[in-house]
Protein backbone atom coordinates (compact mmCIF):
# COMPACT_ATOMS: atom_id res chain seq x y z
CA UNK A 1 0.00 0.00 0.00
CA UNK A 2 1.08 3.53 -0.73
CA UNK A 3 0.09 6.86 0.75
CA UNK A 4 -1.15 8.90 -2.22
CA UNK A 5 -1.77 12.64 -2.32
CA UNK A 6 -3.77 14.00 -5.26
CA UNK A 7 -3.94 17.76 -5.84
CA UNK A 8 -5.80 19.36 -8.70
CA UNK A 9 -6.44 22.75 -10.28
CA UNK A 10 -9.51 22.64 -12.51
CA UNK A 11 -11.35 25.83 -13.46
CA UNK A 12 -14.49 24.23 -14.93
CA UNK A 13 -17.02 23.42 -12.18
CA UNK A 14 -18.44 20.37 -13.97
CA UNK A 15 -15.05 18.75 -14.59
CA UNK A 16 -13.86 19.65 -11.09
CA UNK A 17 -16.93 18.00 -9.54
CA UNK A 18 -16.39 14.86 -11.63
CA UNK A 19 -12.76 14.65 -10.53
CA UNK A 20 -13.75 15.10 -6.87
CA UNK A 21 -16.35 12.33 -7.24
CA UNK A 22 -13.75 9.93 -8.63
CA UNK A 23 -11.29 10.79 -5.87
CA UNK A 24 -13.91 10.26 -3.18
CA UNK A 25 -14.10 6.63 -4.38
CA UNK A 26 -10.44 6.19 -3.39
CA UNK A 27 -9.79 8.40 -0.37
CA UNK A 28 -10.75 11.43 1.65
CA UNK A 29 -10.70 15.15 1.01
CA UNK A 30 -8.21 17.02 3.22
CA UNK A 31 -8.37 20.41 1.46
CA UNK A 32 -10.74 21.78 -1.16
CA UNK A 33 -8.71 20.34 -4.04
CA UNK A 34 -6.51 17.81 -2.24
CA UNK A 35 -7.28 14.18 -1.43
CA UNK A 36 -5.33 11.57 0.52
CA UNK A 37 -5.64 7.87 -0.28
CA UNK A 38 -4.15 4.53 0.74
CA UNK A 39 -3.84 2.48 -2.43
CA UNK A 40 -1.91 -0.34 -4.02
CA UNK A 41 -0.25 0.11 -7.43
CA UNK A 42 -3.21 -1.40 -9.29
CA UNK A 43 -5.71 1.00 -7.67
CA UNK A 44 -3.40 3.97 -8.32
CA UNK A 45 -3.34 3.17 -12.05
CA UNK A 46 -7.11 2.61 -12.05
CA UNK A 47 -7.69 5.97 -10.35
CA UNK A 48 -5.31 7.75 -12.73
CA UNK A 49 -7.07 6.26 -15.76
CA UNK A 50 -10.48 7.40 -14.48
CA UNK A 51 -9.18 10.89 -13.73
CA UNK A 52 -7.63 11.33 -17.17
CA UNK A 53 -11.01 10.63 -18.77
CA UNK A 54 -12.53 13.59 -16.91
CA UNK A 55 -10.06 16.40 -17.50
CA UNK A 56 -9.08 18.71 -20.32
CA UNK A 57 -5.30 18.29 -20.50
CA UNK A 58 -4.80 21.73 -22.05
CA UNK A 59 -6.67 23.53 -19.23
CA UNK A 60 -6.59 21.33 -16.13
CA UNK A 61 -3.83 20.07 -13.88
CA UNK A 62 -3.69 17.03 -11.60
CA UNK A 63 -0.68 16.00 -9.54
CA UNK A 64 -0.45 12.55 -7.99
CA UNK A 65 2.20 12.04 -5.32
CA UNK A 66 2.87 8.41 -4.43
CA UNK A 67 4.63 8.10 -1.07
CA UNK A 68 5.86 4.88 0.51
CA UNK A 69 4.33 3.96 3.85
CA UNK A 70 7.87 4.21 5.25
CA UNK A 71 8.03 7.92 4.36
CA UNK A 72 4.47 8.58 5.53
CA UNK A 73 5.76 8.94 9.10
CA UNK A 74 7.66 12.07 7.99
CA UNK A 75 4.49 13.96 7.02
CA UNK A 76 4.03 17.03 9.22
CA UNK A 77 0.53 18.34 9.95
CA UNK A 78 -0.28 21.60 11.73
CA UNK A 79 -3.82 22.49 12.73
CA UNK A 80 -6.86 20.26 12.46
CA UNK A 81 -6.86 16.94 10.71
CA UNK A 82 -4.82 13.79 10.60
CA UNK A 83 -3.55 11.43 7.93
CA UNK A 84 -6.09 9.13 6.36
CA UNK A 85 -6.00 5.73 8.00
CA UNK A 86 -6.55 2.27 6.63
CA UNK A 87 -10.10 1.16 7.29
CA UNK A 88 -10.53 -2.11 9.05
CA UNK A 89 -12.71 -4.62 7.25
CA UNK A 90 -15.09 -6.84 9.15
CA UNK A 91 -16.65 -9.96 7.69
CA UNK A 92 -19.90 -10.98 9.31
Per-residue model confidence as pLDDT tens digits over 6-25: 999 999 999 999 999 999 99
Domains of the chain: 2-72 (3.30.70.240)
Statement: residue 92 has pLDDT above 70 = no
Tell whether the torsion through CA atoms of 4, 26, 22 and 48 is positive or negative: positive
Q: What is the pLDDT of residues 31-71, one digit of tens each?
A: 999 999 999 999 999 999 999 999 999 999 999 999 987 78
Please, which pLDDT band fits residue 73 given cuts at 50, 70 and 90?
Answer: confident
Q: What is the pLDDT of residues 52-63, one digit of tens each?
A: 999 999 999 999
- Non-local (6+) Cβ contacts of 59 within 8 A are 10, 11, 12
pLDDT at 70: 79
Amino acid sequence: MYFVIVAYDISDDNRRNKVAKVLSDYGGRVQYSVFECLLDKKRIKEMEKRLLKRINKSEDRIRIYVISRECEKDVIIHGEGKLIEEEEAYIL
